Chains A and B, each alone.
Chain A
Amino acid sequence: MNQQFSIIPVQMQMANTLKELEACNDISEQFGLCLTTDQMIRLAKTRFRALENAGRVEFGEGILKKLIYRFCDSPYLMQNNYEDSLSELQEIFYYFKNESMEKLSDDELIDAMKNVFDGKAQGSIEYLSGTSLENLCRIIRGGAIEEEIEIDEEDYES
């Protein structure tokens, strides 16, 4: 199943992705974030791998451009972790997209991710990826994350 779309002119899409990422640098540079050509190529490749892992097909502009535009003003994104962060955000995005059963638009999902990333997660991608879709949806509706309170057994006994 995953191979069915593998013969689509990947090179064509790859070239488009590189052009888009180049254009994104103009915006992200204002926040001290810039991708080198090698980083762009790696990210473009990661895009196809992430899509394949998520079992999805993407048309036109990839999601990277939107992620960059939305996340580049985050105080938690630094030049030294920019490429890795984008790569992971991309994977998380496709994961949540599947989880949401196509009920969330790209923009809604990215807004919710940004909200958690800059808020509760304080820049921790691990925290973001561990956030449940229910909580993300709650954020979309304007609510706050519901804390999962873990009770330590010793505390409980004392």
Chain B
Amino acid sequence: MNHNLIPLNDELSVNGGIPSDLLAVQVRLWELLAKQTARYTMGDSSSIPIELANELLSSICFTLGVDLSNPDTLKSLLNDDLEELFKIGLSSIKQKIDIGKQLWEEAWLSIPAIENISLRDTLNGIGTFFKRYDYRYFAHTIPCDIDYQLCNPVPETLLGVEYVNEYLRRLIIEHDFLQRFDPQLCIQILECYCQDYKGLLINLFEPIATNAIGLSLIGCSVFKLDVLEAERKQVVEILKPLSKGKCIELLCRAAERTCLNLGIRHEKAKQYMISLSSELYPRIQAAMSSGSMGKIFISVS
């Protein structure tokens, strides 16, 4: 996201700003940008490339927590002491970095005993993020590679440490879920799902969680993970006559039951499972009509 002044201008106009207010906001942000530039160049340079100025401005807006969709933005930018707000923003980012480091350790500690190169590379990469992250000047950036795909991706609207922390929170939910199953059983399912599950950029959680939801839907133990052909037919028998809304409702309930059976109590983790189950519907519907349910609910036999 680029917090340059023209979009800022547009957004604020939409939110009822008057031209003189916009000018005042621009001047205040410009002054803060000038101070940040002087700090960045340590007073050695009176000018900087436009690209760099835009980056510094984006970082300022991120640090100030400027939410362009919020009508109160204009009020805050006009009336509050921006330098003070900026300092508060920086200390808040610092706290988020500390939280992120804890989350990163937790993600390593909860990593499932399933080999996957991109998962480990990504966690290593996030380790370097905390070394490279220059929150004073480039707080909105993510200076590391995040290759491992989550089942439920982090919204692109999040930036900097906020993105990384949310990524880690979601990853921990996935790890915690996988930890509740026999790793050998998970590996068997993953081998059937994708032969090169170790090397390819696949998500480890999704096929396992999908099978667990399927088993929960037909009232089987989620711990066996393996969905037999007969059990897939049962899933079809249950879902086929139902409307879309009813199907999604049943899948969501199955996800809730899965959490209950696995002893997952954390609300965010439950919501994560429910979000997967509601996204399953279009895939299940397509598979039911093409008779390829075996690609959704994996069988090891």
Query: Which positions in A face B, CB cutoff 8 Å?
Result: 1-5, 7-9, 12, 51, 55-63, 66, 94, 97-98, 102, 105-107
Instruction: Contact check, A106 vs B44: say whether CB atoms are below 8 A apart.
Output: yes
Evaluate whether A102 and B26 lie within 8 angstroms (CB atoms) in the complex, with A5-B53, A57-B50, A60-B34 already known.
no
Q: How far is the CB of A36 from chain B (nearest CB, A)?
A: 25
Contacts of A57 in B (CB 8 A): 47-50, 53
B23 touches A63 (CB 8 A): no
Given contacts A4-B4, A4-B6, whether A61 and B46 have CB atoms under 8 Å apart is: yes
Within the complex, the shortest CB–CB distance from A59 to chain B, in Å, comes to: 4
Residue in contact with A56 in the complex, picked from B9, B33, B44, B49, CB distance below 8 Å: B49
Question: How far, in Å, is A106 (CB) from chain B's closest CB?
Answer: 5
Interface string of B33-50 (1 = CB under 8 A from A): 110011001001111111
Kindly provide the distance from the CB of A3 to the nearest chain B CB, expressed in whole angstroms. 7
> Which chain B residue shows the least CB distance to A109?
B45
Q: Give the chain A neighbours of B33 by CB distance below 8 A.
A: 59
Cβ of B45 and Cβ of A97 under 8 Å apart? yes
Contact indicator A62/B54 (Cβ below 8 Å): no
Compute how far the CA of A106 lies from the CA of B38 in the bound complex, rounded to whole angstroms.
12
**Nearest CB to that of A66 among chain B residues?**
B46
Number of interface residues of B (CB under 8 A): 24
Chain A hits for B53, CB < 8 A: 5, 57
A63-B5 contact given A4-B54, A7-B26, A8-B26, CB 8 Å threshold = no
8 further A-B pairs in the complex, CB-CB below 8 A; given A106-B46, A107-B44: A1-B50, A4-B6, A4-B50, A9-B23, A59-B47, A62-B46, A94-B47, A97-B47
B81 at the interface (CB under 8 A from A): no
Q: Which of B13-36 contact A (CB under 8 A)?
A: 23, 26-27, 30, 33-34
Q: Is the CB of A3 within 8 A of B6?
A: yes
A61: chain B residues at CB < 8 Å are 46
Complex A-B, nearest 4 residue pairs according to Cβ-Cβ distance, in ascending order? A105-B44, A59-B34, A58-B47, A4-B4
User: How far is it, in angstroms, between the C-alpha of A57 and the C-alpha of B47 when the chains are bound?
Assistant: 5
A51 to chain B, nearest CB (A): 7
Interface contact A98-B49, CB-CB below 8 Å: yes
25 CB-based A-B contacts, threshold 8 Å: A1-B54, A3-B6, A5-B53, A7-B9, A8-B30, A12-B27, A55-B50, A56-B47, A56-B48, A57-B49, A58-B46, A59-B37, A59-B47, A60-B38, A60-B46, A63-B46, A63-B47, A66-B46, A102-B45, A102-B48, A102-B49, A105-B41, A106-B44, A106-B45, A106-B46
